[in-house]
Amino acid sequence: MSTVYLSMSTDIIHGGHMNIIEKAAELGELTVGVLTDDVVASYKRFPLLSYEERVKIIQSIKGVARVISQDTLSYKKNLEELKPDYLVHGDNWKEGFQRAIREEAIEVLASYGGILKEFAYSSDAQYQRLEDASRDRLSIPDVRRSRLKKLLGMKTTVNAIEAHNGLTGILAEKTQVLEEGKAYQFDAMWVSSLCDSTSRGKPDIELVDMTSRLHTIEEIMEVTTKPIIFDGDTGGKIEHFVYNVKTLERIGVSACIIEDKVGLKKNSLFGNEVVQTQDSIEHFCQKIQAGKKALKTSDFMLIARIESLILEQGMEDALNRAFAYIEAGADGIMIHSRLKDPAEIFEFCEKFRAKDSRTPIVVVPTSFNMVTEEEWAERNVNVVIYANQLTRSAFPAMETVAKMILKNHRAKEADEVCMPFKDIIRLIPEE
160 binds ligand SPV, rule: CB under 6 A: no
What is the rounded CA–CA span in Å between residue 313 and residue 288?
21
- Select from Mg ion, ligand SPV, none the partner in contact with residue 364, using the beta carbon and a kind-dependent cut-off of 5 to 8 Å: ligand SPV
Nearest-approach distance from CB 194 to Mg ion, in angstroms: 5
Q: Which of 42, 70, 157, 366 binds ligand SPV (CB under 6 A)?
A: 366
* Residue 37 or 231 with smaller CB distance to Mg ion: 231
* Residue 10 or 198 with smaller CB distance to ligand SPV: 198
391 binds ligand SPV, rule: CB under 6 A: no
- Select from Mg ion, ligand SPV, none the partner in contact with residue 269, using the beta carbon and a kind-dependent cut-off of 5 to 8 Å: ligand SPV
What is the rounded CA–CA span in Å between residue 376 and residue 37?
21
Q: Which stretch binds ligand SPV (CB under 6 A): 68-76, 111-119, 266-274, 279-287?
A: 266-274
> Which of 333, 281, 279 lies closest to 303, judged by CA?
333
- Select from Mg ion, ligand SPV, none the partner in contact with residue 308, using the beta carbon and a kind-dependent cut-off of 5 to 8 Å: none
Angle value at C-alpha 145, between 142 and 149, nearest 5 degrees: 125
71 is catalytic: no
Interface positions, 189-208, toward ligand SPV (CB under 6 A): 192-194
Nearest-approach distance from CB 353 to ligand SPV, in angstroms: 22
Interface positions, 313-352, toward ligand SPV (CB under 6 A): none
**H or E element in which residue 177 lies:** strand 176-179
Query: For residue 369, what are the contacts with CB-CB under 8 A and spacing of at least 6?
Result: none
Q: Which residues of 140-149 are buried (b: 16+ CB within 10 A; e: fewer)?
A: eeebbbbbbb
* Residue 8 or 387 with smaller CB distance to ligand SPV: 387
Pairing state of beta strands 255-259 and 301-306? Answer: parallel
What is the rounded CA–CA span in Å between residue 86 and residue 269?
57
Q: Which of 7, 337, 388, 391 binds ligand SPV (CB under 6 A)?
A: 388
- Select from Mg ion, ligand SPV, none the partner in contact with residue 214, using the beta carbon and a kind-dependent cut-off of 5 to 8 Å: none
DSSP string, 113-167: T-EEEEE-----HHHHHHHHHHHHHTTSHHHHHHHHHHHHHH-S-EEEEE--SHH
Interface positions, 84-123, toward ligand SPV (CB under 6 A): none
Query: For residue 113, what are the contacts with CB-CB under 8 A and spacing of at least 6?
Result: none
Residue 104 contacts residue 78 (beta carbons within 8 Å): no
234 binds ligand SPV, rule: CB under 6 A: no
* Residue 111 or 369 with smaller CB distance to ligand SPV: 369
Measure CA 262 to chain center.
30
* Binding footprint of Mg ion on the chain (CB under 5 A): 193-194, 231
Binding-residue total with ligand SPV (CB under 6 A): 11
Which of 204, 233, 279, 331 is the catalytic position? 204
Nearest-approach distance from CB 264 to ligand SPV, in angstroms: 15
* Residue 39 or 194 with smaller CB distance to ligand SPV: 194
3-state secondary structure of 342: coil
First to last CA, the chain: 49
Nearest-approach distance from CB 362 to ligand SPV, in angstroms: 10
Tell me which residues touch ligand SPV (CB under 6 A).
192-194, 231, 267-269, 364, 366, 387-388
Query: What are the catalytic residues?
Result: 204
